[in-house]
Amino acid sequence: MEKQQSKLPPIKNQYSSNNGHESASSQLQQDVHPNGVEYDVQLVGSIPPSSGKQSNQNYLDENQKEVDLESPDLTYNQAKKIRTQVERDVELLRNRVRMLQLEEERALKKINETKKKTSQILDLKKKNDEKFQKQLVEQQQNLGSLKTNQSTNYEKRQKQLIDIKQKQLQMYESKKQDAEQLKQNIRQQQQIKNKLEYDQVMQNQERKNQLKAEKQHAQYKINDYLVTKHERAREETSKKMESEKMQIKNYELEAQQLELYEADLLRKLQETQQKEKNAFNMLESAMIDAAIPKKMRVGANQSLYSQGSGRSQMREGSHQTSVRSSTTKRQR
């Protein structure tokens, strides 16, 4: 499984506003009716929009309007407060990047599991087709021998027909149980994902409100301090203020890089979710093909054994063509 690298590329752009990340969502639903079987599969995935990035930009814009970092009137405490706030915003960006990396890993894991399940279903379908075709050949042989002695072997032939119907019923019940289990697993995974997304949105909102309150409180203190201590503290804190300015610029640069890296991770995650959707489509095709009644695939309308051998070869060629067509569609 691929893992995202934590190394950030060197980027020197300014803060860029984003109207919100697009939600990647997909929905898959299918109904299959093999001899009365009905089941459906649904997949819904989404990514909550990032609310912290816009608030970071708004915060920096407001602070740039209120306090100019290059202004000779900027005090040490004021610069320290701004540096602390920017540091908190950078930490929020780091947390969101980690969340996106975890979501990417979960999506890749689900893709691998889906591909494995698809391969298992195709193998099982092939084995069932071969077994059922062999049963039909044996049935035709038995029916051919029974023509000379139908009166004495009637009960035996009926028993064979009953056995075949029982096997068909058993396979039908097995497919139905597999479909129900698959739907249950998908519902559980979706519930867990929705809960994680909701918790993340609520945490971001609470943090945003807390930052707004802290910002207002800090602004009140800065205004009081400027009234009483501005002239006396300017000479003493000039060197410290330069150091704080340098830290602010470093954090701003890191925030820019994190935002661009976050956008790149979201793009990759959307591509991964598209791959996940394609994998489920392949699973859907495999399950639908496996659910088709066997008599339609191997051709149950055989009258004589000699004729049945030729028709069996024709059905085998048709089946191979169908498999190649299904493989071509999955590759597309």
pLDDT (0 to 100) of residue 133: 84
pLDDT (0 to 100) of residue 218: 79
Residue matched to tokens 């049945």: 308
Q: Which two tokens stand for residue 145?
A: 């021998």
- Composition of the chain by helix, strand, coil, percent to 5: 80, 0, 20
Q: Which of 242, 206, 247, 208 is nearest to 89 (CA)?
A: 208
- The answer to whether residues 29 and 179 touch, using CB atoms and an 8 Å cutoff, is no
**pLDDT tens, position by position, for the chain (332 residues)?**
333 333 333 333 333 333 333 333 333 333 333 333 333 333 333 334 444 445 445 544 544 445 567 777 778 888 888 889 999 999 999 999 999 999 889 989 989 898 888 888 888 888 888 888 888 888 777 776 666 666 666 677 778 888 888 888 888 888 888 888 888 888 888 888 888 888 888 888 888 888 888 888 878 877 877 777 777 766 777 778 788 888 889 999 999 999 999 999 999 999 999 999 999 999 988 888 888 776 675 554 444 444 544 544 544 444 444 434 444 444 44
Angle at 179 between CA 175 and CA 183, to 5 degrees: 170
How many other C-beta atoms can be found within 10 angstroms of the C-beta atom of residue 144? 14
Cα(102)–Cα(192) distance, integer angstroms: 14
pLDDT (0 to 100) of residue 144: 65
pTM surpassing 0.85? Answer: no
Of the chain, the end-to-end C-alpha distance in Å amounts to 23
**Cα 321 vs. chain centroid, distance in angstroms?**
32
How many other C-beta atoms can be found within 10 angstroms of the C-beta atom of residue 209? 10
- The answer to whether residues 40 and 183 touch, using CB atoms and an 8 Å cutoff, is yes
